[in-house]
Structure 1
Amino acid sequence: MHQQDLFDQPGRIELDDESWLLWYPEFYPLHHATDLYDCIENTLAWSQLPVTMFGRKLLQPRLQAWHGDHEYTYSGLTLPPSPMPDVLNEIKSECEKVSQATFNSVLVNYYRDGCDYMGWHQDNEKELGETPVIASVSLGETRRFVLRHLKTKEKKEFELNSGSMLVMGGRTQTFWQHTVPKTAKPRRGRINLTYRKIISNH
């Protein structure tokens, strides 16, 4: 069941007793989001790397870049640390003010068209801690973002438009999965920045 009509107003959303979201559909005005998209698209060194899924090595269905103080490992892939350029640091500071959290890393995903996607997953790596706060900023094309409760299968859906920010906190990564599904509809590029804090690499 589509529920994005419930989430067109900014504010805090309680997913369950221990999991919450902060939703800001107009975190950046559209003209500024467009400028950020153009800058980031032309500044970062994008890569498409193989990850291990279901025992097979496959190329990720999107491009990405990793910036921060620590390396990050997921799906059998280890991303070496790379300093944040000024534009990513500026966005980080603004996300920290709103979320009241601190971040030291950002995973940037570049969805080139509607065929690029992110499968169902949880950001539950040990180096993120038990209750990570992750701030997700979207630039460019609007894409669907769906959360699904692991036990009840309840779904929450958002349309992540250009300039929006969605913060996931509490035990969202414990009890919920999320995805950016592919679509057959024509779609232009979308850049998604997910700020997080790496606590330990062990």
Structure 2
Amino acid sequence: MFGILDGVDYQGSLFDSPVLDRRLDAASLAGTTRTPLDRGAWVDVRRDWLADADGVFSTMVAEVPWRAERRQMYDRVVDVPRLVCMYAVGEELPHPTLELARDALSEHYRGELREPFVTAGCCFYRDGRDSVAWHGDRIGRGERKDTMVAIVSLGDPRRLALRPRGGGASISFTMGHGDLLVMGGSCQRTWEHAVPKVASAGPRISVQFRPLNVF
């Protein structure tokens, strides 16, 4: 275990769910539910999608080279409230199930996205104090071209909030262990999303699959 994870209250049996013996392919996404949003955006959710979610979570906690980052915030440098790791194009992912998940997503969304998912950004939320501020992953696509971001969640449930860019009512989706959420259409251009702080939460990992040059 990396020293940077000292103090994280993690147990291998935390979720106590069985290994799921099923194929992780495009057909496994047949049960996805789409929620249309304003301005041409949408969100897809597939509950309990990732096979062997316990095994993937355990491997990622122990073997991913998590790092802490610091960022300029106005007139001071602050700690980024989560640990991160980025897997670029062509880099082997930390668990073979994630390779299958990326390929299944690329196949399933090929008609809409017209390009594959090729990178995987990983975030480790150690407890409820870790979070992500409001943002949109639109760098590399500008103000007019749509893209997708597919998020696999592992560990304790956390809420992903979305709000229209420029103001408006927000909505949220609680992402549980093994759940998949895909933001598509104009979502990265016309909406923002965040993972808010909460009073209490156990460790959670998110894996964000993106097309080339989107972040």
TM-score between the two structures when normalised by the length of structure 2: 0.75
Q: Distance in 1 between matches of 2:189 and 2:73?
A: 20
Which residue of 135, 138, 144 corresponds with 1:121? 135
Q: Which amino acid letter does the alignment assign opposite residue 57 of structure 2?
A: Y
Q: What fraction of aligned residue pairs are identical, expressed as a percent?
A: 27
1:109 alignment counterpart: 123
Q: Spell out, residue by residue over 1:142-167, the C-alpha distance to the aligned partner (whole angstroms, 9 max, x if none).
A: 00110001234221111100111010
Which residue of 96, 100, 111 corresponds with 2:106? 96
Q: Distance in 2 between matches of 1:151 and 1:173?
A: 13
Please say if residues 23 and 166 of structure 1, whose CA atoms lie closer than 8 Å, have aligned partners that are also in contact. yes
5+ residue gaps in structure 1?
1-8, 71-81
5+ residue gaps in structure 2?
1-30
Q: Spell out, residue by residue over 1:70-122, the C-alpha distance to the aligned partner (whole angstroms, 9 max, x if none).
A: 8xxxxxxxxxxx54345332221233234335111011000011111111111
1:188/1:153 CA distance change after superposition, 3 Å = same
- Counterpart mapping for 1:21-40 below 5 A: 21-28=43-50, 32-40=52-60
Shift of 1:127: 6.0
TM-score between the two structures when normalised by the length of structure 1: 0.79
Q: Which has the larger radius of gyration?
A: 2
2:93 alignment counterpart: 84
Report the RMSD for the aligned CA atoms in angstroms.
2.4
Report how many residues are paired. 179
Shift of 1:65: 0.4
Shift of 1:49: 1.0
1:50 alignment counterpart: 70
